[in-house]
Amino acid sequence: MWSYVGHIEWTSYRFRPAGSPPLGMDPLGSRGVLGVIEECFSAEEQEEADEGITVTRNQLQEKVVEMENFAGHLEEIFLTVEENFGRQEQHLEQHYNEVLQTLSQRYDQRAARLDLDKKSRLEVLYGQLLGCGRTMDSSKELIEAAQGVYRSQDRRLFLKAVMPTIQRIEEFAKEEMDLTLSTALEINTTEDDLSDVKTMMDSISVVPAPSAPVINPQMANSATQTSLRVRWNLFSDDTVEFYELFYRPVLEDLPADNTHGTDVCKVKVKETHCRVTDLLPNAQYELWVMATNTTGISPASEKALYMTVPSPPAIKERGCSSCPEAALIRWDSGNNNPVDSYTVEITEMDTHGAQCGAAEAIVAVPSCQCLIQLQQDRRYMVTVRAVNIGGPSEKSHPLGVSTTGTLFHLLEDTAHPCLSISEDGFTMFYGDEELPLSALAFDDNNFARCVAVLGDLLPVRGQHYWEVAVDDYTEFRVGVAYEDTNRNAYLGATNTSWCMRHILTPTRHKYEFLHDGWSPDLRITVNPMRIGVALDYDGGTLSFYNVELEQHLYTFHCCFQSYVHPCFALDNPGGLTVHNGVEAPGYTRN
Amino acid sequence: MWYKPGLRKGACLLVCIWSERGIERQMHCSAVLSKMALTQVSSNKCAGGYQKVYEHESVELQCKMKFAVYLPPKAETDKCPVFYWLSGLTCTEQNFITKAGAQQAAADNGIIIVAPDTSPRGCGIEGEDESWDFGTGAGFYVDATEEPWKNNYRMYSYVTEELPKLINSNFAADPDRMSISGHSMGGHGALVCTLRNPGRYKTVSAFAPICNPIGCPWGQKAFAGYLGADKSTWEAYDATVLAASYDGPKLDILIDQGGDDQFLSSSQLLPDHLIAACSAKKIPVVFRRQPGYDHSYFFIYSFMSDHIKHHAKYLNA
């Protein structure tokens, strides 16, 4: 704050009294605007004068505003300086308090030591004193005893006692008397080590090392797939020269507190924010900041966890299907690790392929598929984004969806091994060459006896329509089946599938409409080359038509317990082609 | 009601013609008058509409004829298409309207149903009441050429010419939209009328039709009596033969046949012949064999709504 200097343009703050002519209006000279107006003869000159007044007024107003701004700035500077002083004062007070505290602590310690010393010496001396006292008592007693003996009248007793007594006195006299004091009278005063107090005093005038900065949590929408925008704050009034931001990826298989492990990267910045680049998508990173100034480095801030945005998903075109009122979109996540959710965006397109209408979004989609409600006979463009706490990813490549007719793809993993499917996914062949046993790989999902394949599920109520192109020589089965229809049975043989079947006999063509092994007895005189299949979930009907003749062939009346898949099978070598995304013709509707 | 039955209209016509000279004209007038005269025999409200029976003097059949007309609710406000039903041996105009249960479907689809009688009645021809499969109640929808039948037994012309004109003039009928159907002998009649008049009928269907009369006892007896010994004249009334040489707009024929039909097993009906002919000529047919069903109106009742739906698809297109 000390280095703030506002560079003020003094030249722009020129003022002139209000009555004086505006700057640069030479023709009017110095007569004053009002005077000029009075003397005007022509309308044009009056107009010019009016303009001049307006211009002057505007300029003056601008100047006023600038002055107000300047005053505001000055006030701000004043306030900041005042604040700073206040802080410094506080800081110094605190510092000195600390020093005083330390000193009084030392004093107390020293006083306590001296106290102890004194006590111990006094004890010793007292002990000595007691000893002397005892000696005195015993010598007193001796003297009294000798005196007693001396004074005794009885010569016999005196003779008995005199010699031991004399001996005792002689012995006593031989004893050395230790009259020296056992303790020194001098008290040693050791010099205290006050060097740390000295450094404390010295450091008052020095700028302290910064405290740990405060790293902010991740802001919404600040991250990209490969970068993160990190912000942090100063702790109170620290002076900082630069910051160092440390970061490392958080990997699942390493412990979270392993700071010596994976590469910790470092970035040096002067601002309180930084954009870290070259990161992995959908990854969690641990970040912390240290502030440095001339005195030293702060401790590390708290570690914050940031997350980069995921990579965009990829819509699986062959996994998507549509019908007049809805579309089922499926995609690959595009990320190795899980994301929080997906957002699906839908835009309506007009017939020229341009966008019309606002985009709609479906958020918080938990899995990699979504069923979207749409309107009939329109075109849409769909994109998907993956979302985690870092924000949404870039859009996936778009998929065009048309809600005319019903469009579905074949589920190739349900196909019998002998059935091959064309590249565009809509034509199937039953080749007549024998496949080696090794090529006949069966799993739980594909048909094992009937050379059949299922189409994608039709998971939307209402009416669906598609066509199948066949030829005279192919024995086929065409219809619908539940997802769990027996893969070891023939289509139409169980109560989980319904189909139209074409059989070639030596004499004629035979057509059956099979469900649960039963068919009505029907004869058809013109063999259909293109079969229209109309499914009505609500009406509970499955109808078959000869498309070229617009002829109704047969209708099953069923009660569908769950959604069904279109199904196709070939009973002899041959092929058939599925045509879908076709609008149901009028004669197929009730 | 769209039109009132005929006397007033006939009167107007009479006034116009009166200005012309000549008695011959008067004779023509009376013919016109009688053509237009319909007498209502009965009317019953049914399925929101009206099941009516009319009687008239037929020009082709030279006798009084009755026919049944079902008018759906829609006929009160709009012109409706017409479904002609031809009944089988021994039937009158009553069997269909009381037993077939067609009125509800007709009302739902806005279709007029016309059901004529199966032969001229009370003509006083010798032998007309001798058999149940020849003469009265067995007109076979032909124009007879042999005596004593040729004056009255002209059911083909009655059904294809006189009746439609009568219906179109007296009821809210759309003259461009009609279809035809029938049972047994009436099925034969419906098929023959369709095959001989390409483009006239929007569609055709039949219940247990006599598909190849030339090849079955019924047909042989009737044709011999009405058309004479020359079998080449019979071919014009045989659906199987007509199909083999049909050349007209695309058809869509629906045929239901009871599996337990005694006449099927006694080779009176011969549907296989018709199917073979249609397969060869690529005439679209859907032939349904219904197990357990016989030749009766119980069978017709069971599948009538499928047939009305089939006709509605074309009549209401």
Per-residue pLDDT, B7: 46
* Nearest chain A Cα distance for residue B75, angstroms: 22
For residue A486, what are its two tokens? Answer: 């027996």
Chain B residues touching A521 at Cβ < 8 A: 259, 288-291
Chain B residues touching A585 at Cβ < 8 A: none
**Distance between CA atoms of A558 and A556, rounded to whole angstroms?**
6
* Confidence class for position A4, pLDDT limits 50, 70, 90: very low
What DSSP character marks residue A414? Answer: G
| Interchain CB distance below 8 Å, B286 and A552 | yes
Chain A residues touching B311 at Cβ < 8 A: none
Angle at alpha carbon of residue A264, lines to A251 and A272, rounded to 5°: 110
Neighbours of A213 (CB within 10 A): 24
3-class SS at B218? helix
Active site residue B56: no
pLDDT digit string, tens, across residues A157-170: 778 877 887 888 78
pLDDT digit string, tens, across residues A228-249: 999 988 876 677 888 999 998 8
Average confidence (pLDDT) over B258-267:
95
| Interchain CB distance below 8 Å, A587 and B313 | yes
**Residue labelled with tokens 């870039």:** A394
**Distance between CA atoms of A390 and A582, rounded to whole angstroms?**
42
Name residues 252-271 of chain B within 8 A of A (Cβ).
252, 259
Chain B residues touching A586 at Cβ < 8 A: 317
**Distance between CA atoms of A344 and A351, rounded to whole angstroms?**
22
Per-residue pLDDT, B62: 94
| Interchain CB distance below 8 Å, B252 and A520 | no
**Residue labelled with tokens 């319904």:** A498
State the virtual CA torsion across A30, A35, A41, A44 in degrees, nearest 10: 70
For residues A417-451, one letter each, b for 16 or more C-beta atoms within 10 angstroms of the residue's C-beta and e for the rest, the string is ebbeeeeeebebbbeeeeeeeeeeeeeeebbbebb
**Distance between CA atoms of A263 and A246, rounded to whole angstroms?**
10
* Nearest chain B Cα distance for residue A572, angstroms: 23
8 A C-beta contact, residue B55 and residue B45: no
What DSSP character marks residue A418? Answer: T
Q: State yes or no: pLDDT of A547 exceeds 50.
A: yes
Chain B residues touching A554 at Cβ < 8 A: 286
Which residue type does B298 have? F
Antiparallel, parallel or unpaired: β B253-258 and B204-207: parallel
User: B125: buried, middle or exposed (CB in 10 Å: 19+, 13-18, 0-12)?
Assistant: middle
Per-residue pLDDT, B10: 45
**Distance between CA atoms of A151 and A142, rounded to whole angstroms?**
14
Q: State yes or no: pLDDT of A258 exceeds 80.
A: no
Give me the sheet containing A273-276, strands edge to edge. A214-215, A228-233, A273-276
Per-residue pLDDT, B79: 95
Q: How far is CA A473 from CA A170, A506, A549, B280, in A?
A: 155, 12, 19, 17
- Any A CB within 8 A of B282 CB: yes
Chain A residues touching B275 at Cβ < 8 A: 523, 525
**Distance between CA atoms of B47 and B74, rounded to whole angstroms?**
12
From the list A337, A379, A374, A388, the residue with the least C-alpha distance to A356 is: A379
Average confidence (pLDDT) over A13-34:
49
| Interchain CB distance below 8 Å, A587 and B285 | no
* Nearest chain A Cα distance for residue B171, angstroms: 28
Paired with B157 in beta bridges are none
Single out the catalytic residue among B184, B205, B238, B256. Answer: B184
* Confidence class for position B152, pLDDT limits 50, 70, 90: very high
- Any B CB within 8 A of A529 CB: no
Antiparallel, parallel or unpaired: β B204-207 and B173-183: parallel
Mean pLDDT of the residues in chain B: 89
Please give the residue of chain B at the shortest CA–CA distance from A544: B286
ipTM of the complex: 0.84
Residue ranges of E strands in A338-389 = 341-349, 360-365, 369-373, 379-388
Active site residue B295: yes
Nearest by CB: B275 against A523, A550, A586? A523
Average confidence (pLDDT) over B32-58:
87
For residue A462, what are its two tokens? Answer: 């209402």
Per-residue pLDDT, A46: 87
Per-residue pLDDT, A60: 95
- Any B CB within 8 A of A521 CB: yes
8 A C-beta contact, residue A474 and residue A531: no
Higher pLDDT, B179 or A292: B179
Per-residue pLDDT, A157: 79
* Confidence class for position A354, pLDDT limits 50, 70, 90: confident
- Any B CB within 8 A of A474 CB: no
Q: How far is CA A406 from CA A247, A384, A445, A456, A561, in A?
A: 51, 22, 24, 11, 20
Average confidence (pLDDT) over B186-201:
96
Higher pLDDT, A7 or A258: A258
pLDDT digit string, tens, across residues A294-346: 878 888 888 889 989 999 999 999 999 999 999 999 999 888 888 899 999 99
Per-residue pLDDT, A359: 87
Higher pLDDT, A154 or A205: A154
| Interchain CB distance below 8 Å, B279 and A526 | yes
Average confidence (pLDDT) over A408-424:
91
Single out the catalytic residue among B117, B238, B256, B261. Answer: B261
Per-residue pLDDT, B162: 95
Which residue type does A315 have? I
pLDDT digit string, tens, across residues A40-80: 557 788 888 899 999 999 999 999 999 999 999 899 888 87
Length reported for chain B: 317
Per-residue pLDDT, A406: 93
**Distance between CA atoms of A340 and A338, rounded to whole angstroms?**
7
Q: State yes or no: pLDDT of A259 exceeds 60.
A: no
Per-residue pLDDT, A171: 83
Give me the sheet containing A476-482, strands edge to edge. A410-411, A452-455, A564-570, A476-482, A497-504, A509-515
Q: Which of A510, A512, A523, A553 is best to mutate for the B interface (most B CBs within 10 A)?
A: A523
Per-residue pLDDT, B153: 95
From the list A250, A213, A215, the residue with the least C-alpha distance to A230 is: A215
Q: Let me know how many helices (H) and strands (E) chain A has, helices first.
A: 4, 30
Per-residue pLDDT, B40: 95
**CB proximity list for A85: less than 8 A, separation 6 or greater:** none
* Confidence class for position A15, pLDDT limits 50, 70, 90: very low
Per-residue pLDDT, A260: 55
Q: State yes or no: pLDDT of A512 exceeds 50.
A: yes
Q: State yes or no: pLDDT of B189 exceeds 90.
A: yes
pLDDT digit string, tens, across residues A429-474: 998 777 777 666 678 888 888 999 999 999 999 899 999 999 989 9
Q: State yes or no: pLDDT of B216 exceeds 80.
A: yes
pLDDT digit string, tens, across residues B160-185: 999 999 999 999 999 999 999 999 99
pLDDT digit string, tens, across residues B274-313: 999 999 999 999 999 999 999 999 999 999 999 999 999 9
pLDDT digit string, tens, across residues B103-134: 999 999 999 999 999 999 989 998 889 999 99
**Distance between CA atoms of B293 and B308, rounded to whole angstroms?**
19
| Interchain CB distance below 8 Å, A524 and B291 | no
Per-residue pLDDT, B34: 46
Average confidence (pLDDT) over A370-383:
92
Per-residue pLDDT, A578: 96
Average confidence (pLDDT) over A117-145:
88
* Confidence class for position A24, pLDDT limits 50, 70, 90: very low
Paired with B55 in beta bridges are B39, B66
Q: State yes or no: pLDDT of A391 exceeds 70.
A: yes
Active site residue B108: no
